[in-house]
Structure formats: structure tokens, C-alpha cells
């Protein structure tokens, strides 16, 4: 599953970065390249070529001190509080610190060496304390409170910024007693340390690989996948083939390998990440995180962590999120039963009688696909050459939204030599910003796919353009070999690019109104997936890497016919993860044994024994590397309800390229950040609330499940 990294918390709402603490005087920017203003063309670019772990401690200290001074000036201002003298400077406070933290956050996600891990362990609790020092400042909050009380005199955007900021500060503890604030800050610092600990342990397990030395064990696996495994072994100084413990490497083996013992070995290594009772086991860390979250929620006046987290979401309550999930779960579970029966029928015809187990699911689902639709995933890969699919994503963004992309790779600094960069302008030639891609898996890079915004757009002077990035973990083969990706990988590429489009189309004045609720964040990216399989994109860009021929209509017809195939598996593995997340974070006292809780919850909801959660708790990075998706993994389903209904609007207009629909979608929903309530904005776009039947239809489930 994919996700986007966003700033959270009261201070992040104000200026898009974490707050500062008092400290030594700021070092002159020239003394440390991490502290220097971003210079060069395109409004300035990150100095990736100068980033070194040893430079960060001094940069942290100096930029934290500078940010503290920014906020101190606001809090100590003797003039009566106004929007202009309180909220505007808060929007602009700590910009140097924000840039330093952008550099650090990207490095810990993409190039996480032991040196960066040590920095993260040491500084994460300090950052949490710094944020709390701002949020808990009574003089600052008094000014916020005063402007909030007089907000009726402000324009609508200013009113929304003031209200959201005030509410956020209250949720983060600004009204607690001094003793309660000390306790809350202790919880936040402990959590920051635990998040760092979880990430370090999981990354260690994901950097492992299974070595195969007998080529016979790789029977059935396509040559392109073997080449990737061969390159991975060579990178580790080994002969043979290395199957790295990440999804992009594991899934093809589970799909194609005829050696059942290899499938089981690879599957067990993957699903047991963080759950092996060794130095990398994450269970104790998870238990600590869940307990701390519950205690923090109680201190803040909430029954559970989920109740606290969902205050600023579209769903509003855990019950509303659970209601949507449990409307879909029975249909998903029933479909899994049908899929297993189809797979078992094929397995029963084999020479060796087996009962379908989780490590068999992808393999036999592929056999059913071939049998029912005459469609082999291996047939598709030759048409999904990475460079071509990237160009297809840019083409769709240009045709829909008027964004123009000119590649400038090699002209601006990058942190990894295989990265690519584009200069982006709008249909009128105006500057939008830059778009970076970091596509390949490597040691030290966390798993999954995500989007980052190095710099967000704002109209508040001084205005800023966008620096956006996509990060994937596609497998890179031997040098000179074409990089062929699966249909699932191509959908991931379009998904993450949807986040970038959202960032690039943003047109807001105040940074504090840029970030959207968690259960809206995935909506623009999920909508963008729909354009991958449009005939125009396929004809121009899904061309056979050897012959150059476009994907035959007959093959596309097979893909279309099989669109709802295996949706039981896809829905149940995701939804079980989301349900466990929500139930875990509604345990009132937060006392859990993660493994036992996972097993009990899956038994309670009737999880089919033939599959596992997409993210088991011991490796659930979304939940335990930060607070960002905790009690929020349901958001993909919530967003998909809007996504399916949105694409239906294009279909109702007669074309996926319908210009008036695309313009309304961009103007009302993509460009406005959080300047208006997102549910109201959706109703403005669609004329009504989203229809869950569109989601059920998209997944091939009975629409009678809706109510």
C-alpha cells in the first residue's frame, strides 16, 4: 500500500514544519551548507550534493534556535493580537528549520545508513520536545485565542486558518495545566524514540535476502525477475540469485515460482518481518507505542487514541470509519471463498494434491487468471517499460490539467545518481516547480512507495513554487537491461504521481491550509490510477519494449474483463489491516500483546485462513514509524469511495478526458488544499455526497451491500 508523508501537529499546521526550541545562537548559514538558503534556478533547490550526516547536529541546533526566536518574537509582541501580527508571522516562522528537516526526513527514508539511524534515535525526542515547547507556550496561545475570539471580522480563508489552528493547538494540549503539559511532552518524546526504534528494526529485516544457488528452484519465474534477483545477489557480493525481503521482489516469486517450498520460504520471511523473536523483533516496541498513545489520549480528554486522531478527519469518529469498512468486509470475505474454490479446483488437478495455503494464493490465482481470461501477467510486462510508463503519466497530467514537463536531469543536485528531475510549468507557461523521481529499491531505503513535498506552494509573500517527489522500490536489473514493471507496479506509479499532481496544482495563500485530512489525502492519487489503462495512454506509451508495437486491443480486453478478478484477495488483505488498526487503537487502556491481538481480531472478523493482512502489525510501518496513519489506514477505502464516484463523473460526461470535468475537479478539489471543508468541496464538485455503490461496483461486489 502506498502513502504520502505529511507534517502533523499544531505547529505543523501553522508553518508546514515542526516547531523549535530555545538553544544556542544560530550559526551563520555559510558555515553549514544545510543551513544555507536554497539557491539556484526554480526558486532554489535542495543541496542534495552537500548533504552529509555529520552536518546535521549543528544544523539542528542552529535552526531550532532560530525558529524558537521567531516564535518568541510573536509571543512577546506588545501590540494587541491581530491576524496580521500573529498568524501571518506564524505562517512564515522557522523556514530554515523546515528546510533542514526536509533534508533529514528524505535521507532517513531513502538513504538510511547507520549514521542517519543514530541521528534519528538521538534527535527524534528533541524534535518532539521542541514542538511541544511552542504548542504549550501560554503567551503564544493567548494571542491565538484572542484572534480566534474576534475571527468574525476576518475573510473566510483567514477564519478557517484561525479556527483550524486554534482547534489543533487545543487538541495538542495547549489548554492543559503545567503539570499535564510536562506529562504530555514526556509521552511525545517517548513515542518519538519508539517510532525511530521501530523503523530501525524493520529496516534491518527488510534488508535481508534469501539466497538461491540452484537455478532449478527458480522454475516458472520470468527471465526479467531472475535478472533482478541475479543483480541483487551481485550487489551483495554473492553468486546465484538473491530474493530481497521487500514486496517488489517477493510478489513475483509468489506469483510465478513452481517450487512450492521456495514460495513458502519466501512468504514466511516476508510476513514474519519484525516478528522473529530476535534483535529486530518489533512486538515490544509496538506494545509500548499503543500504551503511550492511549495514555496520551486520556490526558487530552479522549476515550481512545482513535477518538483523538479522528477529530480532524472527514469520517470524524471511529464508528463512522468502522461502518464503512464493515459494509465492504462481508462481500470481500465471500469473494475470497469463491476465489479459493476456483484455485483449489486447479490445484486438485495437479500431480501433488495440496490444500491452498497463503503462499499458494498468488500462484494459483495466476493459474485461474490464465484459465478464465487467457491472461498471463508475464504477457503484460513487456508493455510496461518503466521509462515509457513514466512518460504516459506525464502525458495524462498534461492533457487533463495542462501541466508541462521538461526533463532537466543532471542540471540540479540529487541524492542518488539514478534520480530523474523535470521542470514543470502550467498551460500558460507559468512556473509550477520541479518534480523528482527516485524509483529503485536499494539497501537503506525503506520499503513501499510514497510521495514527498520538498517545498510546498504558497501565495503568501514571499511566494513559493513546488518541489515534489515520488519514491518507489522497483527492482532494477542488470546494467543495460530494460526495466519492465508489472501492471500493479504501473498502477503504483500512477498512484504516487497523483500525489505529485495534487501538490503541483495546489493554489493556496496560507501554508496552514495546504494539508488535507488524512482520509482525503489518498483520494487524488487513487483517482489518478484510472488513466493508466485508457486507450490513449496505452497506445502511446504501453508499447512492447522489443517491437515497439502498442498493446493489442485483445490483450487490453482481457485486462478489462479481469478488472474485478481477485478483488476478494485485494480487498480482504487491505481491509483486514485497516480493521485491525482501528480496533487496536480503540482499546481504551492501550494494553495489548500485538501478536495475540492480531490473531484474536482476525478470528473475530472471520479472516480467511488462505491469506494474511497486507501489513501485519510487526511490520506495519504506516502505524508505528509515526502517528500519521495510526487509526487512519481506513483512509484508503474512504478515499476510494470518492475516487470511484469521481471517475464515474468522467464516464457520465462521455470521456475520461472530458475537459470541463477535469477543470472542475482541479479547481474545486485539487487546487484548494484545505481552504474549504473537504466534504463540502466534494458535494460542490459532484452535487451530492459520494456513493458507496460506485466503490462496490468497481470491485465487483454486490451493490445491495450499501445502505
Instruction: Report pLDDT digits (tens) over 131-169.
Output: 999 999 999 999 999 999 999 999 999 999 999 999 999
CB within 8 Å of 439: residues ≥ 6 apart:
386, 418, 420, 470, 471, 472, 474
Give residues with Cβ within 8 angstroms of 490, minimum separation 6. Answer: 384, 389, 532
Tens digit of each residue's pLDDT (9 = 90 or more) over 323-365: 999 999 999 999 999 999 999 999 999 988 899 999 999 999 9
Report in angstroms the alpha-carbon separations of 199 from 241, 317, 618. 27, 28, 11
From 126, 172, 166, select the one nearest 149 (Cα to Cα): 166
Quick one: which of 466, 457, 396, 451 has its CA closest to 672? 457
Question: Are the C-beta atoms of residues 662 and 534 closer than 8 Å to each other?
Answer: no
Question: 305-319, pLDDT tens digit by residue?
Answer: 999 999 999 999 999
Convert the pLDDT of each residue in 185-198 to its tens digit: 999 999 999 999 99
Q: How far is CA 132 from CA 124, 173, 174, in A?
A: 13, 9, 9
Q: Is the pLDDT of residue 545 over 50?
A: yes
Residue 31 pLDDT greater than 90, yes or no: no
pLDDT range class, residue 30, cuts 50, 70, 90: low
d(Cα 433, Cα 278) in Å, to the nearest integer? 46
Each residue of 360-386: pLDDT tens digit? 999 999 999 999 999 888 889 999 999
Whole-prediction pTM value? 0.91
Catalytic residue status for 496: yes
Determine which of 51-55, 180-184, 189-193, 438-442 has the lowest per-residue pLDDT on average.
438-442
Task: List Cα–Cα distances, 47 to 7, 412, 471, 609, in angstroms.
Answer: 21, 9, 18, 50
Say what the pLDDT of residue 224 is. 87
Q: What is the Cα–Cα distance from 638 to 629, expressed in whole angstroms?
A: 13
CA gyration radius, the chain: 25
CA-angle at 108, arms to 102 and 109, nearest 5°? 90
pLDDT by residue (tens digit) across 665-697? 999 999 999 999 999 999 999 999 998 888 898
pLDDT recorded at residue 23: 35
Q: Select from 188, 141, 193 the least CA-distant residue to 167.
A: 141
pLDDT tens for residues 515-533? 999 999 999 999 999 999 9
Q: Which residue in the list 61, 496, 610, 640 is annotated as catalytic?
A: 496
662: Cα separation from own chain's centroid: 24
Per residue in 614-660, pLDDT (tens digit) is: 999 999 999 999 999 999 999 999 999 999 999 999 999 999 999 99
Please, what is the end-to-end C-alpha distance for the chain in angstroms?
28
Helix (H) or strand (E) segment spanning residue 686: helix 678-686
Please tell me the distance from the alpha carbon of residue 361 to that of residue 263, in angstroms, as a whole number: 10
Considering only 179-188, 394-403, 439-448, 541-550, which range has the smallest mean pLDDT?
A: 439-448
What is the average pLDDT score of the chain?
Answer: 93
Q: What is the pLDDT of residues 415-426, one digit of tens each?
A: 999 999 999 999
Amino acid at each position: 500500500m502506498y502513502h504520502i508523508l505529511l507534517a502533523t501537529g499544531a505547529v505543523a499546521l501553522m508553518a508546514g514544519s515542526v516547531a523549535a526550541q530555545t538553544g544556542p545562537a544560530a550559526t551563520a548559514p555559510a558555515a553549514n551548507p544545510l543551513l544555507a538558503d536554497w539557491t539556484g534556478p526554480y526558486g532554489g533547490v535542495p543541496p542534495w550534493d552537500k548533504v552529509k550526516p555529520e552536518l546535521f547536529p549543528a544544523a539542528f541546533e542552529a535552526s531550532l534556535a532560530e525558529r524558537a526566536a521567531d516564535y518568541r518574537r510573536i509571543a512577546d509582541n506588545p501590540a494587541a493580537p491581530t491576524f496580521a501580527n500573529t498568524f501571518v508571522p506564524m505562517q512564515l516562522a522557522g523556514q530554515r528549520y523546515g528546510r533542514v528537516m526536509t533534508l533529514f526526513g528524505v535521507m532517513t527514508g531513502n538513504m538510511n545508513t547507520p549514521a542517519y539511524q543514530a541521528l534519528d534515535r538521538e534527535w527524534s525526542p528533541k524534535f518532539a520536545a521542541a514542538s511541544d515547547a511552542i504548542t504549550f507556550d501560554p503567551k503564544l496561545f493567548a494571542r491565538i485565542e484572542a484572534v480566534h475570539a474576534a475571527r468574525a471580522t476576518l475573510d473566510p480563508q483567514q477564519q478557517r486558518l484561525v479556527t483550524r489552528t486554534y482547534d489543533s493547538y487545543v487538541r495538542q494540549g495547549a489548554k492543559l495545566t503545567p503539570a499535564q503539559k510536562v506529562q504530555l511532552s514526556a509521552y511525545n518524546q517517548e513515542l518519538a524514540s519508539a517510532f525511530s526504534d521501530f523503523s530501525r528494526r524493520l529496516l534491518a529485516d527488510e534488508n535481508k535476502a534469501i539466497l538461491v544457488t540452484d537455478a532449478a528452484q527458480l522454475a516458472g519465474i520470468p527471465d526479467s525477475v531472475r535478472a533482478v534477483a541475479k543483480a541483487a545477489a551481485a550487489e551483495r557480493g554473492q553468486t546465484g540469485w538473491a530474493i530481497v525481503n521487500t514486496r517488489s521482489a517477493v510478489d513475483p516469486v509468489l506469483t510465478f515460482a513452481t517450487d512450492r517450498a521456495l514460495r513458502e520460504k519466501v512468504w514466511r520471511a516476508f510476513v514474519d518481518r519484525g516478528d522473529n523473536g530476535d534483535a529486530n523483533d518489533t512486538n515490544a516496541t509496538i506494545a509500548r507505542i499503543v500504551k503511550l498513545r492511549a495514555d496520551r489520549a486520556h490526558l487530552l480528554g479522549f476515550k481512545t487514541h482513535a477518538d483523538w486522531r479522528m477529530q480532524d478527519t472527514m469520517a470524524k469518529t471511529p464508528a463512522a470509519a468502522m461502518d464503512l469498512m464493515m459494509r465492504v468486509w462481508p462481500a470481500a470475505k465471500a469473494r475470497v471463498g469463491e476465489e479459493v474454490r476456483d484455485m483449489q479446483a486447479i490445484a486438485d488437478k495437479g500431480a501433488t494434491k495440496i490444500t491452498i495455503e497463503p503462499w499458494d494464493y498468488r500462484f494459483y490465482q495466476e493459474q485461474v487468471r490464465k484459465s478464465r481470461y487467457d491472461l498471463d501477467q508475464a504477457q503484460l510486462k513487456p508493455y510496461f517499460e518503466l521509462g515509457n510508463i513514466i512518460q504516459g503519466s506525464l502525458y495524462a497530467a498534461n492533457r487533463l490539467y495542462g501541466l508541462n514537463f521538461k526533463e532537466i536531469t543532471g542540471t540540479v543536485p540529487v541524492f542518488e545518481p539514478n534520480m530523474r528531475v523535470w521542470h514543470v510549468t502550467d498551460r500558460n507557461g507559468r512556473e509550477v516547480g520541479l518534480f523528482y523521481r527516485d524509483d529503485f529499491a536499494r539497501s537503506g531505503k525503506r520499503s513501499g512507495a510514497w510521495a514527498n513535498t520538498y517545498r510546498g506552494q504558497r501565495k503568501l509573500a514571499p511566494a513559493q513554487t513546488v518541489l515534489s517527489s515520488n519514491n518507489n522500490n522497483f527492482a532494477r536489473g542488470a546494467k543495460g537491461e530494460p526495466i519492465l514493471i508489472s501492471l500493479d507496479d504501473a498502477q503504483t506509479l500512477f498512484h504516487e504521481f497523483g500525489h505529485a499532481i495534487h501538490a503541483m496544482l495546489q493554489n493556496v495563500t496560507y501554508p496552514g491550509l495546504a494539508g488535507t485530512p488524512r482520509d482525503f489525502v489518498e483520494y487524488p492519487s487513487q483517482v489518478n490510477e484510472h488513466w493508466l489503462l485508457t486507450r490513449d495512454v496505452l497506445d502511446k506509451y504501453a508499447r512492447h519494449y522489443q517491437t515497439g508495437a502498442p498493446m493489442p486491443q485483445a490483450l487490453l480486453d482481457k485486462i478489462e474483463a479481469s478488472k474485478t478478478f481477485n478483488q476478494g484477495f485485494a480487498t480482504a488483505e487491505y481491509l483486514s489491516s485497516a480493521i485491525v488498526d482501528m480496533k487496536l487503537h480503540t482499546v481504551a487502556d492501550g494494553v495489548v500483546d500485538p501478536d495475540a491481538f492480531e490473531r484474536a481480531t482476525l478470528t473475530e472478523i472471520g479472516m480467511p485462513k488462505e491469506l494474511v493482512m497486507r501489513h501485519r502489525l510487526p511490520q506495519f510501518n504506516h502505524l508505528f514509524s509515526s502517528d500519521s496513519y495510526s487509526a487512519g489506514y481506513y483512509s484508503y477505502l474512504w478515499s476510494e469511495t470518492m475516487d470511484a464516484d469521481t471517475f464515474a463523473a468522467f464516464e457520465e460526461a462521455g470521456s475520461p478526458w472530458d475537459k470541463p470535468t477535469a477543470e472542475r475537479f482541479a479547481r474545486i478539489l485539487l487546487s484548494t488544499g484545505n481552504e474549504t471543508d473537504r466534504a463540502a468541496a466534494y458535494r460542490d464538485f459532484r452535487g451530492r455526497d459520494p456513493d458507496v455503490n460506485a466503490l462496490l461496483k468497481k470491485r465487483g461486489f454486490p451493490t445491495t451491500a450499501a445502505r
